């Protein structure tokens, strides 16, 4: 139980970690461009309209907005971010937006959607046009009028348009190639995106034994569900393409089970005589879930669902039974590799511009084995917190 309370405490600390203390850690090397000068130092992205800048770890922090600087560059991400200003409904708005395509018409995107605003284009006249939700198609057809090629105009057909990042990239690339083929188009180099970190959680593990032979079940039947075991889990995770709607997630975690059940023993020769046996099982295992994660919606809190298969290695598995006239007896069980699945739902809470705290509820059943022989179904109900420590 000491292990459970210790891990539960760590989980609570992760859940209630304040945004200020969390984001304080994450500065990236880079430079900002101010009127008439370039300042080199460290940058922390707070949101689409604010960054923190310092010249070194011991320097004071200066806050900047898009109105104050023309942009900045992050060395770790090799990412250029520009300050873009445009007018909507008579109001002037300014955002930091990441450069995706630089050319005759340039394409930019917000790191985190601002309502329905996700992208913007900059025309040769330097006019910035926001691409917001259902209005994106109207803005593109209104401003990208110089290309009459049927292969391009089909992209702006309402039946073919779905307003995704890849769709915007294709439209801008094809338009530039059509209108200004001699001008080089410089797409921003795509980088391999991933995040990795630690997880911890509270767990309810259960066990359903199913290996007793049928010929003994009229006398005693140890098959069926055993008592629940409340414990904890710790581990780590690695997520590919974490910023996409569909991503691949790999975890490794360690947990276990220990429970028992009292089994009634029937004696056909003496029906009134009652006896019982105590069956106890325990296991410790490493699990490797490989799952797909699909994110629902945008915003500071993003819900997602995930599912996939799980490889399990039993590091230790034991079974014992005892009774009034039976000496404590150990079953000769051997550990082995088994499989299972994971299904869950979670929420990602935005902690900083690039990092988040993920809270998941999931179920992970697997087959408990004696080498290659199935003896039980082990099920783990988990509530976990996942904290990314390295994000690229």
181 and 37 fall within a common domain = yes
Sole residue written with tokens 């601002």: 114
Q: What's the gap between Cα 84 and its chain centre?
A: 30
- Point out the domain boundary residue: 155, 170, 187: 187
Residue 72 lies in a domain: yes
**Which residues of the chain carry a pLDDT beneath 70?**
1-26, 76-77, 183-192, 212-218, 268-269, 271, 273, 297-300, 352-354
pLDDT on residue 327: 79
331 and 229 fall within a common domain = yes
Residue 302 lies in a domain: yes
**Which residue range(s) make up the domain with 116?**
28-187
Residue 23 lies in a domain: no
Residue 17 lies in a domain: no
135 and 197 fall within a common domain = no
183 and 224 fall within a common domain = no
- In the predicted model, what is the mean pLDDT of the chain? 84
- DSSP class of residue 191 equals -
Query: What is the 3-state composition of the chain as percent helix, strand, coil, each rounded to the nearest 5?
Result: 15, 55, 30
pLDDT on residue 213: 66
Residue 275 lies in a domain: yes
Q: What is the CATH number of the domain that holds 255?
A: 2.40.160.20
318 and 385 fall within a common domain = yes
Residue 65 lies in a domain: yes
pLDDT on residue 10: 54
| pTM (whole model) above 0.85 | no
164 and 253 fall within a common domain = no
pLDDT on residue 23: 40
- Point out the domain boundary residue: 149, 166, 187: 187
Backbone angles phi, psi at 155, to 5 degrees: -65, -25
139 and 264 fall within a common domain = no
As for how many domains the chain has, the answer is 2
pLDDT in tens, 311-365: 999 999 998 988 877 778 888 888 889 999 999 999 988 776 567 889 999 999 9
250 and 374 fall within a common domain = yes
Contacts 24+ apart (CB under 8 A), 365-368: 365/340, 365/341, 366/285, 366/287, 366/310, 366/312, 366/338, 366/339, 366/340, 366/341, 367/312, 367/338, 367/339, 367/340, 368/207, 368/283, 368/314, 368/317, 368/338
228 and 167 fall within a common domain = no
151 and 237 fall within a common domain = no
161 and 212 fall within a common domain = no
Residue 306 lies in a domain: yes
pLDDT on residue 140: 93
pLDDT on residue 358: 92
User: What are the angstrom distances between the C-alpha of 27 and each of 88, 95, 238, 390, 392?
Assistant: 32, 20, 21, 12, 13
202 and 115 fall within a common domain = no
């Amino acid at each position: 139980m000491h292990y459970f309370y210790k891990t539960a405490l760590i989980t609570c600390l992760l859940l209630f970690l304040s945004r200020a203390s969390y984001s304080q850690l994450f500065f990236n090397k880079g430079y900002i461009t101010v009127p008439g000068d370039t300042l080199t130092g460290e940058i922390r992205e707070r949101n689409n309209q604010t960054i923190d800048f310092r010249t070194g770890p011991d320097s004071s922090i200066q806050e900047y907005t898009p109105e104050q600087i023309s942009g900045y560059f992050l060395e770790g991400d090799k990412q250029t971010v520009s300050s873009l200003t445009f007018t909507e409904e008579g109001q002037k708005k300014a955002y930091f937006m990441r450069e995706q395509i630089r050319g005759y018409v340039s394409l930019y995107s917000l790191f985190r959607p601002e309502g329905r605003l996700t992208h913007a284009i900059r025309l040769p006249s330097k006019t910035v046009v926001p691409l917001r939700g259902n209005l994106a198609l109207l803005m593109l057809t209104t401003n990208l009028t110089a290309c009459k090629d049927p292969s391009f105009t089909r992209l702006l057909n309402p039946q073919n348009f779905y307003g995704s990042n890849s769709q915007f990239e294709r439209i801008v690339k094809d338009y530039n190639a059509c209108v200004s083929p001699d001008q080089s188009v410089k797409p921003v180099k795509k980088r391999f995106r991933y995040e990795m970190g630690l997880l911890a959680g509270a767990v309810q593990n259960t066990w359903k034994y199913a290996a007793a032979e049928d010929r003994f079940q009229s006398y005693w039947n140890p098959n069926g569900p055993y008592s629940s075991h409340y414990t904890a889990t710790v581990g780590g995770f690695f997520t590919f393409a974490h910023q996409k709607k569909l991503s691949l997630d790999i975890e490794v975690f360690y947990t276990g089970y220990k429970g028992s059940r009292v089994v009634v023993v029937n004696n056909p020769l003496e029906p009134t005589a009652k006896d019982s046996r105590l069956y106890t099982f325990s296991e410790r295992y490493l699990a490797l879930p490989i799952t797909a994660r699909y994110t629902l919606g945008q915003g500071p809190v993003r819900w997602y669902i995930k599912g996939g298969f799980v490889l399990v290695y039993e590091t230790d598995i034991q079974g014992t039974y005892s009774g009034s006239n039976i000496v404590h007896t150990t079953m000769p069980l051997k550990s082995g590799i088994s499989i299972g699945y994971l299904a869950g739902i979670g929420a990602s809470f935005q902690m900083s511009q690039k990092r988040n705290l993920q809270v998941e509820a999931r179920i992970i059943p697997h087959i408990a084995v004696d080498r290659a022989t199935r003896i039980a179904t082990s099920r783990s109900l988990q509530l976990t917190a996942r904290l990314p420590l390295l994000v690229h």
